[in-house]
Amino acid sequence: MSYENQVNLNVRLSQPEEDLFDYAYEQPGSAPGTLNIEIDAELPEIILIDYNSDRANRFDSLTPEACAEHLDTESVSWIDVKGLGSENILQRLGKVFNLHPLVLEDVVNVPQRPKVEDYPQQLVIITQMVVPKPSREGFCLEQVSLIVGKNYLLTVQEKPDQDCFRPVRRRIKYQKGTIRTMGTDFLAYALWDAIIDGFFPVLEIYGEKIENLEDEVIFSPNNQSLAKIYQIKRELLALRRAIWPQRNALNTLIRDGSSVISPEILIYLRDCYDHAVQIIDIIETYRELASGLTDIYLSAVSNKMNEVMKLLTVVSSIFIPLTFIAGIYGMNFDTSVSPWNMPELDWYWGYPLCWTLMITTAIGLIYFFWRRGWFKSFSKIPK
245 preceded by a cis bond (ω within 30 of 0)? no
Is residue 312 domain-resident?
yes
Q: Mean per-residue pLDDT for 14-32?
A: 49
Q: Does some domain include residue 301? A: no
Cα distance between residue 11 and residue 28, in whole Å: 22
More confident of the two residues 307 and 111 = 111
Residue 223 domain flag: no
Cα–Cα distance, 194 to 164 (Å, whole number): 6
Model confidence at 197: pLDDT above 90: yes
Domain boundary among 165, 190, 220: 165
Q: Where is the domain boundary, 165, 186, 218?
A: 165
- pLDDT at residue 19 tops 50: no
Q: Is 258 a member of any domain?
A: no
pLDDT (tens digit per residue) in 48-77: 999 998 999 999 988 999 988 888 788 999
Question: Taking 70 as the threshold, does the pLDDT of residue 211 lie above it?
Answer: yes
Query: Which pLDDT belongs to residue 36?
Result: 78
- Output the average pLDDT for the chain: 83
Q: Is residue 265 part of a domain?
A: no
Domain that includes residue 365, residue range = 307-380
pLDDT of 196: 95
Contacts of 304 (CB under 8 A, 6+ apart): 221, 381, 382
203 lies in some domain: no
Total domains present in the chain: 2
Single out the residue in 165, 194, 214 at which a domain terminates: 165
**How far apart are the C-alpha atoms of 44 and 154, rounded to whole Å?**
13
pLDDT of 131 > 60? The answer is yes
Contact yes or no for 137/4 (Cβ under 8 A): no
Task: Provide long-range contacts, Cβ within 8 A and 24+ apart, for 259-265.
Answer: 259/118, 259/120, 259/121, 259/123, 260/121, 260/122, 260/123, 260/148, 260/149, 260/150, 260/184, 260/185, 261/123, 261/148, 261/185, 261/188, 262/183, 262/185, 265/185, 265/186, 265/188, 265/189
User: Cα(68)–Cα(50) distance, rounded to whole angstroms?
Assistant: 12
pTM listed for this prediction: 0.74
Least-confidence region, from 140-154, 278-292, 346-360: 346-360
Residue 8 covered by a domain: yes
Q: Is 315 exposed, middle or buried (0-12, 13-18, 19+ CB in 10 A)?
A: exposed
CATH label of the domain that carries residue 119: 3.30.460.20
Residues 334-366: pLDDT tens digits?
777 777 777 777 777 878 888 888 888 888 888
- On whether residue 270 sits in a domain, the answer given is no
The percentage of the chain sitting over the pLDDT mark of 70, rounded to a whole number, equals: 89
Q: What is the CATH number of the domain that holds 339?
A: 1.20.58.340
Q: What integer pLDDT is reported at residue 277 of this predicted model?
A: 96
Predicted confidence band of residue 25 (pLDDT cuts 50, 70, 90): low
Span 203-225, mean pLDDT? 87
